[in-house]
Amino acid sequence: MMQRFFCRCRYLCECVRLRARLKSKWELARLEFYSLFYNVFIDKSTIIDAALEPIYWFVDTFAKYLGPAMVALVIVLTLSVVVIFYIFIIPFTLLQGFYLTLFHLLFGHWLLIMIVFNYFMGVFTHPGRPPQGMLPEVVSMCKKCIAPKPPRTHHCSVCNMCVLKMDHHCPWLNNCVGHYNHRYFVMFCVFMWVGSAYVAITSFPLFIDQFRNEEPRFQPLKFWIVNLSLDLALIEPLFKESPPDVMLLASNFSDVVVEKKVIPKPVLKKLTYNCVLYEFMLCCGVCAALALLLVWHYQLISRGETSIEHHINKSEAARLKADGKIFKNPYDFGTKMNFKMLLGLEYERSFWRHILLPSMHLPYGDGLTWRSSTYILDPSSNPKTL
């Protein structure tokens, strides 16, 4: 009995020593792991960003090649809408009156000029980057550029540079939206939305005519002779090869019925139907998409923040709310003043001249220093300060 008791005690002691050794090894491994990977600033968002790093790399790498293709797509789609408008919509408005056609020509060309001007200015205008050397104000260091960052400046991984007042990288512009081209981006979206809605509304009667009627009442004037020639080319062989009792029906020189078999419509009439359908559906889709985008940017501008600052301010507001404090965006001066600052209309500039007509005026300030709603600098002493 005593021997069995001592064996059990020895076994228990061995288990305790083994457990202590395993615990010490676990603590040592845990200490080594934390010494290599622990960061006091790590949180859930940091872990998610690290996990999504391969996706970010894929987007950053291929966005450089995707951008020129997106710009070419915008140009091709816009050009196709303009060509169809000239060939089909303008002749249709002639049937509705001379003065209405004159309005369409003036208003449509004004819209086209504003769309093209703001788009190409948004594409070719540099958004702005911090200069090398001493900066008047620095808030942090860029980990990618290893350089100081002024307020509201963020790094674009696609352009591989820091951008002043960066909003986002727009693949449709193949450019960053920043301090110097933010106005062009917003105005392009506004005028493109107005233009899409205008074309969709103008082409709607023609769309109904082509979509509902088996034999549309309207065909472009320049196609009538070509359609007639094609119809006669289809009918003439039937007179030569068909017996006299063959029933021929040619309504408006469009469809030919031979022994109750319908010969398809000429190609150009099908082209009219396809072009009008394409024009109306494309403009409706663009109008709906841009409406959502403009609502989002209206909310951002009215609060005096960019797309990036929206997420930063949201996190900061949640953090301060937990401490019983209220977050105040230092760059929010109210909806009206925020839009004036964005459009460059704060001092002695006309809305009619600088917004409704092409204008290359620069935004106020240099993008390096910004006045805030909590601490207002004197613009007379530093006119470049915003």
Residues 6+ apart with CB under 8 A from 3: none
Q: CB-based contacts of 327: which residues, under 8 Å, 6+ apart? A: 313, 316, 317, 320, 321
Question: Residue written as tokens 């303008």?
Answer: 90
**pLDDT on residue 117:** 97
Catalytic residue positions?
Answer: 170
The C-alpha atoms of residue 180 and residue 154 are separated, in whole angstroms, by 14
pLDDT of residue 58: 72
CA-wise closest residue to 284 among 202, 356, 362, 177: 202
Residues of the chain with pLDDT under 70: 1-11, 37-46, 49, 56, 59-60, 213-268, 374-386
Whose structure tokens read 């007179």?
239
Joined together, the tokens standing for residue 54 give 């391969």
Q: Please enumerate in sequence order all residues whose Cβ is within 8 A of that of 100, keeping only pairs 6 or more positions apart, or say none.
A: 93
Tell me the C-alpha to C-alpha distance, in Å, between residue 256 and each of 157, 271, 317.
62, 18, 72
**Residues in Cβ contact with 165 at an 8 Å cutoff, skipping those fewer than 6 apart:** 128, 152, 153, 178, 179, 182, 306, 367
Q: What per-residue confidence (pLDDT) applies to 297? A: 95
Q: Supply the pLDDT for residue 226.
A: 45
- Rounded CA separation 368/78 (Å): 36
User: CB neighbours (10 Å) of residue 60?
Assistant: 15
Q: Strand pairing of 168-170 and 147-149?
A: unpaired
Q: Taking Cα atoms as reference points, which of 287, 115, 296, 293 lies closest to residue 193?
A: 287
The answer to whether residues 227 and 216 touch, using CB atoms and an 8 Å cutoff, is: no
Q: What is the DSSP letter of 263?
A: E
Contact 195, 112 (CB under 8 A): yes
305: Cβ–Cβ under 8 A, 6 or more apart, which residues? 313, 329, 331, 332
Angle at 169 between CA 355 and CA 45, to 5 degrees: 130
Rg (CA), the chain: 34
Listed in sequence order, the DSSP H helices in the chain are 2-37, 44-51, 53-84, 90-94, 98-124, 182-212, 221-241, 267-302, 307-322, 335-343, 351-354
Sheet holding 249-251, edge to edge: 249-251, 255-258, 261-263
